[in-house]
Chains A and B, each alone.
Chain A
Amino acid sequence: MNSPKWSLALISVALTIALALGIDWIAAEWLGIGSSHARWWLLATTLVLVCGSFAFLLGREWTSRQKVADDLEILGRSDMHRLARTNVNFRDDTQVGDDLERSVARLQEKMRSMSRQTEELEKERAAYERLAKSYETQSRQVHTVLSALAEPVLVTDKRDQLVLSNSSANRLLSIESAAGEKQALASLVRCEELVELLHETRRKRAFTEQAHEIEVEAPDGSPRWYRVTTRNIPTQPGESDPDGTSQGAVALLYDISSQRRLQKRNAEFVTAVSHEMKTPLATISAYTELLADGEADTPDVQQQFLRVIAGQSRLLSELANNLVDLARIEADLAGEHQSNQALSQLVDAAAEAARPMADAKQITFEVRHADRALVTCVDRQLMLQAIAHVVSNAIKYTPPGGHVKVGTFREGNNAVLEVADTGIGLSEEQQDRVFEKFYRVLESKDMAEGSGLGLPLVKHIVEDVHGGQVELDSSPGVGTRVRITLDLPEAASPAASTLPTEDQP
């Protein structure tokens, strides 16, 4: 209670006393009440009435204020949403000033607007939460895809720090995954070329995609070739871009080592073929020139030169044919025409073609079949060629008067062809190398001409096309035994393939 209220109270007390004195005087003068006893009673009654009404008024005032304070207290303590919903109305009978009521109304209005804003913010927050969840899911999906990728992937940010690398990249580049902390790519990856590529791509402002082939040393120290596709992540409107470049770069590495190896092998092969062709060509051109210059002074020498030219021409043509066969086999075009063939027939056909050569060298040439009905499933043309190669090799590298024995028989579930000769034989080192393309044994060069592709072709035909096996057993000066093993077709009945025939020794 402030001082104006106190002075009001004092004035009220003074007025009450004045009123009491007035009543007393009226009672004495006008009503003629002489008894002082009665006058005291009237005075007391009047005073009690006046004070009572005053006290009642004061009490009401105090109660109203207390109610407002209580309501404000509730306002202060309550949460915004309940407040906004609660209608804070003062009771009609509450006598508070208009100013207080207006303040409370304004406060409540403010509360309502804040409440609305809060609700909107909460909705936004929920939307962001959903978005964050979906990004998290997407991120997990991307990580799963990346870690499943066999191709190494690296992502850097605008400071060339590594922000993402999949497990293939970590393995290849020996990246220690430092959890949480971003590190400069250059400090994590030893391959400078790759670091430089990512840096260069990131420096570009506009979208850039580049492809390069780089050599990377694998953790085991072996050199590997990768085609690296790098892309930058261009800055979007609203993203900070202090140095006017892009937000980072991505590198995808694709292992091309096997392609490289294949290319290298092809190049080596072509070089070898070219060299092998040049040798007979050189011989042909040299002898042609000698003939043209009249260097062959007798008809005998002329004939000798012409024989050399004819032999080298045959060799060139053989080389060309072998190359075509090799190409067909390597392109998987061969072996499509496999059918059941009697091994004895194939061997007889090859032997027939080789017999004149054996006869010319007075070589004893024997062919024996333990079982004429032994059937194999083969590409007739190719297998005939392989057998012919082995048989003619045996005759070629056996000195005159020697022996060449050819035999076929069944061994378990296999059909076996063996060609044994009493030829010059091969050392262990030579045995290891005779199946290499263009390998020719020095000592054999003078004995016979060869393309250097015969035995590699035999191996290809038997092993790659027919799933069989070629084995070679030889000792220098004693002879060579070549053994070709082929699976018997499943349908071939054991009884039918083991029937003895009149050819059996």
Chain B
Amino acid sequence: MTKKVLLCDDEIHILKAAELKVSRAGYDVRIARDGEQAWQMILDDLPDILVTDVQMPRCDGFELSQRIRQDERTRDLPILMLTAKGFELEQQELMERWGIIDIVAKPFSPRELVRRIDAVISAEAGHCVAGAPGADRIHQ
């Protein structure tokens, strides 16, 4: 079954480049322009992974992560951050506080982005095989 990737960024060119590369890697890609739009799309159809920017209008990447972690329906959605703030953010804090799985720093390589998405998806699949709690919710 094709895995669903939701890409969220306010820069249209970056979004388009990522969309092209990730969809050619065999994923079902959707795009959102800000956190608010992404949240609605997640509620409508839960993706297998969310790739989001941090600095966005309306609802930023942190607020989006918080909403996802606080909601029963979305709590286990893996989040990958794609951000220009790569060097300023404490990876440890991001992981503990917002449940961020990985960070890709801008400027980024679309090839590398696909590799990281692959890694997260296969790790989740591993969890699924091992019957990790909540894993079924992600894939339902």
Residues on A lying within 8 angstroms of B by beta carbon are: 271, 274-275, 278-279, 281-287, 289-290, 293, 295, 308, 312, 442, 445-446
- When C-beta atoms are compared, the residue in chain A nearest to B109 turns out to be A289
Please tell me if the beta carbons of A442 and B34 are within 8 angstroms of each other in the complex.
yes
Please tell me if the beta carbons of B10 and A282 are within 8 angstroms of each other in the complex.
no
Question: Does B24 reach chain A (CB closer than 8 Å)?
Answer: yes
- Chain B stretch 47-73: residues in CB contact (< 8 A) with chain A: 55, 57-58
Residues A279 and B110 in contact in the complex (CB < 8 Å), given A271-B88, A295-B24, A442-B34 = no
Q: Given the complex, which residues of A lie within 8 Å of B20, measured CB to CB?
A: 290, 295
Residues on B lying within 8 angstroms of A by beta carbon are: 10-14, 17-18, 20-21, 24, 33-34, 55, 57-58, 84-85, 88, 106-111
Residues A286 and B85 in contact in the complex (CB < 8 Å), given A278-B107, A279-B106, A442-B33 = no
A282, A293, A295, A446 interface centre (most CB from chain B within 10 Å) = A282
What are 20 of the A-B contact pairs (CB < 8 Å)? A271-B88, A275-B84, A278-B84, A278-B106, A279-B11, A282-B11, A282-B106, A282-B108, A284-B107, A286-B14, A286-B107, A286-B108, A286-B109, A289-B109, A290-B17, A290-B21, A308-B13, A442-B10, A442-B33, A442-B58
Please tell me if the beta carbons of A282 and B14 are within 8 angstroms of each other in the complex.
yes
Please tell me if the beta carbons of B17 and A286 are within 8 angstroms of each other in the complex.
yes
Smallest distance from the beta carbon of A421 to chain B beta carbons, Å? 23
Smallest distance from the beta carbon of A358 to chain B beta carbons, Å? 23
Q: Given the complex, which residues of A lie within 8 Å of B24, measured CB to CB?
A: 295
Please tell me if the beta carbons of A282 and B21 are within 8 angstroms of each other in the complex.
no
The 3 nearest A-B residue pairs measured at CB: A278-B84, A282-B107, A282-B106
Smallest distance from the beta carbon of A435 to chain B beta carbons, Å? 17
Please tell me if the beta carbons of A289 and B10 are within 8 angstroms of each other in the complex.
no
Q: Given the complex, which residues of B lie within 8 Å of A283, measured CB to CB?
A: 11, 13-14, 17
Please tell me if the beta carbons of A279 and B111 are within 8 angstroms of each other in the complex.
no
Please tell me if the beta carbons of A445 and B11 are within 8 angstroms of each other in the complex.
yes
CA distance A6 to B21 in the complex (A): 150
Choose one: B14, B18, B55, B111; the contact of A275 (CB below 8 Å). B55
Please tell me if the beta carbons of A312 and B13 are within 8 angstroms of each other in the complex.
yes
Residues A287 and B13 in contact in the complex (CB < 8 Å), given A279-B106, A282-B108, A442-B57 = yes
Smallest distance from the beta carbon of A166 to chain B beta carbons, Å? 42
Q: Given the complex, which residues of A lie within 8 Å of B111, measured CB to CB?
A: 289, 293
CA distance A448 to B110 in the complex (A): 24
Q: Given the complex, which residues of B lie within 8 Å of A275, measured CB to CB?
A: 55, 84-85
Q: Given the complex, which residues of A lie within 8 Å of B11, measured CB to CB?
A: 279, 282-283, 445
Smallest distance from the beta carbon of A434 to chain B beta carbons, Å? 14
CA distance A304 to B22 in the complex (A): 19
Smallest distance from the beta carbon of A488 to chain B beta carbons, Å? 41
Q: Given the complex, which residues of B lie within 8 Å of A445, measured CB to CB?
A: 10-12
CA distance A417 to B12 in the complex (A): 34
Please tell me if the beta carbons of A290 and B110 are within 8 angstroms of each other in the complex.
yes
- When C-beta atoms are compared, the residue in chain B nearest to A308 turns out to be B13
Please tell me if the beta carbons of A282 and B84 are within 8 angstroms of each other in the complex.
yes
Smallest distance from the beta carbon of B53 to chain A beta carbons, Å? 10
CA distance A446 to B34 in the complex (A): 13
- When C-beta atoms are compared, the residue in chain B nearest to A275 turns out to be B84
Q: Given the complex, which residues of A lie within 8 Å of B88, measured CB to CB?
A: 271
- When C-beta atoms are compared, the residue in chain B nearest to A285 turns out to be B107
Please tell me if the beta carbons of A279 and B14 are within 8 angstroms of each other in the complex.
yes
Smallest distance from the beta carbon of A60 to chain B beta carbons, Å? 120
CA distance A287 to B18 in the complex (A): 9
Please tell me if the beta carbons of B34 and A281 are within 8 angstroms of each other in the complex.
no
- When C-beta atoms are compared, the residue in chain B nearest to A293 turns out to be B111
Please tell me if the beta carbons of B108 and A285 are within 8 angstroms of each other in the complex.
yes
Q: Given the complex, which residues of B lie within 8 Å of A281, measured CB to CB?
A: 106-107
Please tell me if the beta carbons of B84 and A446 are within 8 angstroms of each other in the complex.
no
- Beyond contacts A278-B84, A282-B84, A293-B110: 17 other A-B pairs, Cβ-Cβ < 8 A, are A281-B106, A281-B107, A282-B106, A283-B11, A283-B17, A285-B108, A286-B18, A286-B107, A286-B108, A290-B17, A295-B20, A312-B13, A442-B10, A442-B33, A442-B34, A442-B58, A445-B12
Q: Given the complex, which residues of B lie within 8 Å of A446, measured CB to CB?
A: 12
- When C-beta atoms are compared, the residue in chain B nearest to A277 turns out to be B84
Smallest distance from the beta carbon of B109 to chain A beta carbons, Å? 6
Q: Given the complex, which residues of B lie within 8 Å of A290, measured CB to CB?
A: 17, 20-21, 110
CA distance A433 to B39 in the complex (A): 26
